[in-house]
Amino acid sequence: MRKTDRYRYVLILVGLVVLHFTVRERLGGDRIAPDFLLLALLIYTVRAQPGRSAAAGFVVGLLRDALTPASFGAGALAHTLVGYLSSWAKAVFFAENVFVNGCLFFAGTWLRNLVVLLASGRLGGAQLGWELLVWSPLQSLTTAAVGIVVLWLFGRWLAIRLGDA
Q: How far is the CB of 116 from another protein (least distance, A)?
A: 6
Distances (CA, A) of 8 to 1, 39, 152: 11, 16, 15
Give the residue with the Cβ less far from another protein, 57 or 108.
57
The phi and psi torsions of 163 (rounded to 5 degrees) equal -90, -165
Give the residue with the Cβ less far from another protein, 7 or 130.
130
First to last CA, the chain: 24
Q: How far is the CB of 147 from another protein (least distance, A)?
A: 15
Give the residue with the Cβ less far from another protein, 8 or 50.
50
Distances (CA, A) of 133 to 1, 15, 99, 128, 154: 40, 30, 21, 8, 31
Q: How far is the CB of 18 from another protein (least distance, A)?
A: 7
**Which residues, in sequence order, are CB contacts of 86 under 8 Å at separation 6+?**
42, 45, 46, 53, 104, 108
Rounded to a whole number of angstroms, the CA Rg of the chain reads: 15
Give the residue with the Cβ less far from another protein, 10 or 91.
91
Give the residue with the Cβ less far from another protein, 8 or 24.
24
Q: Do 155 and 162 form a contact (C-beta atoms < 8 A)?
A: yes
Q: How far is the CB of 153 from another protein (least distance, A)?
A: 18
Q: What is the C-alpha separation between 23 and 160, in angstroms, rounded?
A: 25
Q: How far is the CB of 109 from another protein (least distance, A)?
A: 9
